[in-house]
């Protein structure tokens, strides 16, 4: 469609559509933008008229994008990210802007502090926001472009989201110091993996349906051993707390073990036969525009992705 050069696309209308598409709701978009539902709707209708296509359908209170709407949403996301990066770069040349990263509590607590410190020292003008979310929520946030990146255990992903391996962690059994299993000698994997021991000393677990525990349960089933759960308590830090207080033994990922834990527990490595290693990685949208601060953070995470920001 040919138009005179003085009739560009209205960016306010495009922003309204992007917010509506992101949240799949006119009401949510209006709340985010601080304008009325009617104003959002009117601007999107104006954008549809300008483009000459239908961008979405509303049925039963839900919003469904057309094929043209999906392409417009992706274009709008890239455009506004690049506009933000341009505004950052045109200033004093420093890496400024904000990054939102989502990961579970153990990753945030045990694996990221040194990286966050290095990033903050190298890029004091960039703002980093860390969200504590479980893996499924992190993937959904990345897919909807509501966070810039996530760190999760390897898993199946929806189309449009990529996984970049980062670190591999082994799994361990922790037994508190002074436990009956350790009175005569430090516990061993052979001494723990018996029907009598596992029946007598139950396990404290985090998310009982997590991939890690499903793998351990499958390994025990292959050996004909019981998966005896005494208490389901949450994340790895909470698991360690209850094991230390005598509620049982536990399987934890090496990502959450510290030198202090070596003083509190006997730590026994689980054999690879149990598929006990977990690969954690960085998840990104395939079409994610990599701004200057995001590129710097990905560099610290040893992840290569996307195009470079303007210099």
Could you tell me the domains of the chain? Answer: 11-82 (1.10.10.10), 93-167+279-300 (3.40.190.10), 171-276 (3.40.190.10)
What does residue 61 show for φ and ψ, rounded to 5 degrees?
Answer: 85, 0
Contacts 24+ apart (CB under 8 A), 152-160: 152/103, 152/104, 152/280, 152/281, 152/283, 153/211, 153/212, 153/278, 153/279, 153/280, 154/278, 154/279, 154/280, 154/281, 155/211, 157/283, 160/285, 160/286, 160/287
How many CA atoms within 13 Å lie on the side-chain side of 70?
7
Q: What is the mean pLDDT of residues 50-61?
A: 85
The pLDDT, as a whole number, for residue 309 is 40
List, in sequence order, the alpha helices (H) in the chain.
11-23, 26-33, 37-51, 67-89, 105-106, 113-122, 135-143, 189-192, 195-200, 211-222, 236-244, 259-264, 292-300
Contacts of 131 (CB under 8 A, 6+ apart): 100, 101, 102, 103, 138, 141, 147
pLDDT digits (tens, 9 = 90+) for 178-224: 899 988 889 999 999 899 998 999 988 876 556 666 777 777 788 78
User: Distance between CA 285 and CA 142 in Å, rounded?
Assistant: 6
**Cα-based distances in Å from 19 to 77, 154, 299:** 10, 30, 30
Angle of helix 292-300 relative to helix 113-122, nearest 10 degrees, comes to 140
pLDDT digits (tens, 9 = 90+) for 254-289: 999 999 999 999 999 988 777 778 899 999 998 888
Contact in structure between 100 and 127 (CB atoms under 8 Å): no
Q: Which letter does DSSP use for residue 160 in this model?
A: T
pLDDT digits (tens, 9 = 90+) for 79-133: 887 787 676 665 554 556 789 999 998 899 999 999 999 999 988 888 899 999 9
User: Distance between CA 291 and CA 293 in Å, rounded?
Assistant: 6
Q: pLDDT higher for 247 or 291?
A: 247
User: Distance between CA 75 and CA 293 in Å, rounded?
Assistant: 21
User: Distance between CA 149 and CA 290 in Å, rounded?
Assistant: 10
pTM of the model: 0.68
Contacts of 61 (CB under 8 A, 6+ apart): none
**Cα-based distances in Å from 33 to 23, 87, 109, 200:** 12, 20, 33, 58
Task: Read off the pLDDT band of 163 (50, 70, 90).
Answer: very high
User: Distance between CA 270 and CA 218 in Å, rounded?
Assistant: 13
User: Distance between CA 58 and CA 149 in Å, rounded?
Assistant: 30
Query: What single string gives the DSSP state of each residue in 64-108?
Result: EE-HHHHHHHHHHHHHHHHHHHHHHHTSSSS--EEEEEEE-HHII
Task: Read off the pLDDT band of 24 (50, 70, 90).
Answer: confident
Contacts of 38 (CB under 8 A, 6+ apart): none
**What's CA 147's distance to the chain center, in Å?**
9
The pLDDT, as a whole number, for residue 311 is 37
User: Distance between CA 303 and CA 282 in Å, rounded?
Assistant: 8
């Amino acid at each position: 469609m040919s138009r005179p050069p003085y009739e560009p696309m209205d960016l306010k209308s495009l922003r309204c559509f992007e917010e509506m598409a992101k949240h799949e709701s006119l009401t949510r978009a209006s709340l985010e933008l601080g304008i009325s539902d009617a104003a959002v709707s009117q601007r999107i209708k104006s954008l549809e008229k300008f483009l000459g296509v239908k961008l979405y359908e509303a049925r039963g209170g839900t919003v469904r994008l057309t094929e043209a709407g999906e392409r417009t949403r992706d274009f709008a996301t890239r455009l506004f990210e690049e506009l933000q990066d341009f505004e950052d770069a045109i200033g004093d040349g420093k890496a400024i802007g904000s990054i939102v990263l989502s990961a579970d509590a153990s990753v945030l607590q045990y694996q990221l502090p040194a990286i966050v410190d290095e990033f903050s020292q190298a890029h004091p003008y960039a703002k980093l926001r860390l969200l504590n979310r479980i893996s499924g929520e992190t993937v959904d946030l990345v897919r909807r472009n509501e966070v810039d990146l996530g760190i999760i255990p390897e898993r199946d992903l929806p189309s449009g989201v990529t996984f970049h391996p980062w670190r591999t962690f082994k799994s361990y059994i922790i037994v508190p110091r002074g436990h009956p299993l350790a009175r005569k000698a430090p516990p061993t994997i052979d001494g723990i993996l018996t029907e009598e021991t596992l029946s007598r000393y139950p396990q404290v677990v985090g998310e009982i349906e997590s991939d890690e525990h499903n793998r351990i349960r499958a390994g025990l089933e292959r050996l004909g051993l019981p998966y005896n759960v005494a208490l389901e308590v949450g994340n790895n830090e909470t698991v360690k707390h209850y094991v230390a207080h005598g509620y049982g033994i536990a399987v934890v990922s090496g990502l959450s073990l510290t030198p202090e834990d070596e003083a509190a527990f006997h730590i026994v490595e689980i054999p690879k036969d149990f598929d006990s290693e977990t690969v954690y990685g960085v998840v990104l949208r395939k079409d994610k525009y990599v701004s200057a601060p995001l590129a710097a953070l990905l560099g610290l995470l040893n992840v290569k992705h996307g195009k470079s920001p303007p210099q």
